[in-house]
Chain A
């Protein structure tokens, strides 16, 4: 299984600092490929939210290369990995609390994360960032060819106020769950700026064709993977442009994962 990945980060362009952070760590272990993808959107109304989002992606990435890698190598059960993820999130909450106390600021961030180990995924979600899953329909009659579904639920109330985030309250718990990955599936993790301008059908239309090609080029040499990753990046750029045209002024961050 040669997983392909794509990223989009709007960088420092636009007004103010980019409060979105992302991390993509794709490694090859003896038992196969493993991947950690994270997208964080700092709460714009709070001060220095890029610190919070940066702190979360660094904390989780550090966890992946230390404890996470050990758990994967030792073939720990899904329950154990879920427990370890929850524990790490609690530690990150604590470090954010310390950051706020020492800096005398209020800060917070959303988090959408996906840990992929073998044929199992672990989903982490808090706030209004989203994780989409795109699959090809078997019988696409009177329906779009690609089925796009949002795996996460926005933690927002009817007025559009964010109910949960990492950092600010310090007590919100992230949703951590696990599931099976099927072949020919594409995941998209994105911040609200990215998905606001694009309908889920549009996301399916742009990223879905990659699924068709995945089967054909799945066994090609590794050196082609860079080119495939670049293609994936361009598709995400296309989606970002669509969002900007639709009026999205927010900074954007997105990570795409394609399982051929």
Chain B
């Protein structure tokens, strides 16, 4: 081996072995040499799996196995050298990705993993994590097939490894990776891409829009659906994930508009226009929602029974509101006749959550029926620093019809800690 390969530098070192960059004296090119120690139990099995997996794969983004050398206590796999940085390094250096970038990278990753699943032998990667994803020549590359497992292999998996946070919960019991466990790991990787937080942290995987409200609900739903605890509740295959990602990618594309000068279209000048929906870019003309559905959260004893009529945060200083909007509010039933509608200012978005964190209602004004104590959450981006806001929560007992109104003033500080404002319904 020493006759042919010269070690240039050490790239990485792990529990199972060491990776080096080597120079091929004969072919005059760089390779990666993965030297795997055979001392540990199950290491031989891992090496066999990685070799058999790499032998049957020929695809851009997956390193080619070029040679295998045996030593007394180790095996050296000579593989294609993929230059670039890993996803983990990239996120640590530059922070979380924007949605279009994350969807673009996720789509490539999903295609690679989906390709493995669709091989005749049905291969699952088994150890998908940011460290094993490499940005190589502008594309994503998938590395480390030590945890790969053939779906046709009916024997008990031994020596299977998975990374905490990225390994599906069922792997702790069974230890045998499946398509669903790859889907889970993929969801965890996507979560890491958009939040910059590892799923192994105390908080685990949470709805990503809690931290980044600008992300789309589709992306949030995709991550949550991938990382469900029950394998049956996740996506059935990577194809489904790819379909969802394609829709997200189409939706997140920016619009190119023609720049108009003096009323005429000027050829060749295009401007990228990104329209954000942050803030109020619309005016409500009529908003009515009538239902007797109460959205009971199951498995919990009703601790509070009543109708909560939610009137949102009120921006002090602004008392303008068009007449038709006032009428719309009266229509929904939560502004009493005779009440001075001028006290209402700008309606801020409000989220309602249960105590378990589940989101119950939306950022618009509607009558909300509840059987338990909800939490009202005002997202930080709704507030302007240095201004005072008056919040009114009006609630009505369903049976007795008794009405209570609570009002308080909050002040938005310049140096906010970054946590949303939360009130209890009681």
Q: Specify which of A58, A67, A70 is in contact with B291 (CB 8 Å cutoff).
A: A58
Question: Is B1 at the interface (CB under 8 A from chain A)?
Answer: no
Please tell me if the beta carbons of A33 and B285 are within 8 angstroms of each other in the complex.
yes
Contacts of A45 in B (CB 8 A): none
Question: Is A216 at the interface (CB under 8 A from chain B)?
Answer: no
A interface, size bucket: 35 or more
Q: Specify which of A27, A66, A74 is in contact with B283 (CB 8 Å cutoff).
A: A27
Contacts of B286 in A (CB 8 A): 5, 24-26, 229
Question: Is B324 at the interface (CB under 8 A from chain A)?
Answer: yes
Least CB distance from B178 to A in Å reads 22
Question: When A55-B295, A58-B295, A87-B218 are in contact, do A253 and B290 touch as well, CB less than 8 Å?
Answer: yes
Contacts of A225 in B (CB 8 A): 285, 324
Please tell me if the beta carbons of B362 and A58 are within 8 angstroms of each other in the complex.
yes
Please tell me if the beta carbons of A54 and B294 are within 8 angstroms of each other in the complex.
yes
Please tell me if the beta carbons of B324 and A223 are within 8 angstroms of each other in the complex.
yes
Q: Specify which of A54, A80, A91, A102 is in contact with B299 (CB 8 Å cutoff).
A: A102
A132–B406 alpha-carbon span in the complex (Å): 44
Please tell me if the beta carbons of A57 and B289 are within 8 angstroms of each other in the complex.
yes
Least CB distance from A46 to B in Å reads 13
Residues 294-311 (chain B) with a chain A CB within 8 angstroms:
294-296, 298-299
Question: Is B402 at the interface (CB under 8 A from chain A)?
Answer: no
Question: Is A69 at the interface (CB under 8 A from chain B)?
Answer: yes
Please tell me if the beta carbons of B298 and A102 are within 8 angstroms of each other in the complex.
yes
Contacts of A62 in B (CB 8 A): 361-364
Total of A-B residue pairs, C-beta within 8 Å: 136
Least CB distance from B289 to A in Å reads 5
Question: Is A243 at the interface (CB under 8 A from chain B)?
Answer: no
Please tell me if the beta carbons of B282 and A69 are within 8 angstroms of each other in the complex.
yes
Please tell me if the beta carbons of B285 and A51 are within 8 angstroms of each other in the complex.
no
Residues 49-105 (chain A) with a chain B CB within 8 angstroms:
50-55, 57-58, 61-62, 65-67, 69-71, 73-76, 80, 83-84, 87, 91, 99, 102-103
Question: When A23-B288, A23-B289, A54-B292 are in contact, do A91 and B283 touch as well, CB less than 8 Å?
Answer: no
A91–B224 alpha-carbon span in the complex (Å): 12
A74–B294 alpha-carbon span in the complex (Å): 34
Return the chain A residue nearest B360 by Cβ: A58
Contacts of B217 in A (CB 8 A): 66-67
Please tell me if the beta carbons of A26 and B285 are within 8 angstroms of each other in the complex.
yes
Q: Specify which of A52, A53, A57, A73 is in contact with B281 (CB 8 Å cutoff).
A: A73
6 residue pairs from A and B, CB less than 8 Å apart: A7-B290, A17-B292, A62-B363, A65-B362, A76-B251, A84-B247
Given contact pairs A21-B289, A70-B216, a sample of 14 additional A-B residue pairs in the complex whose CB atoms are under 8 Å apart: A5-B286, A9-B290, A17-B292, A19-B292, A21-B290, A21-B293, A22-B289, A23-B289, A25-B287, A65-B364, A71-B251, A74-B275, A87-B247, A222-B324
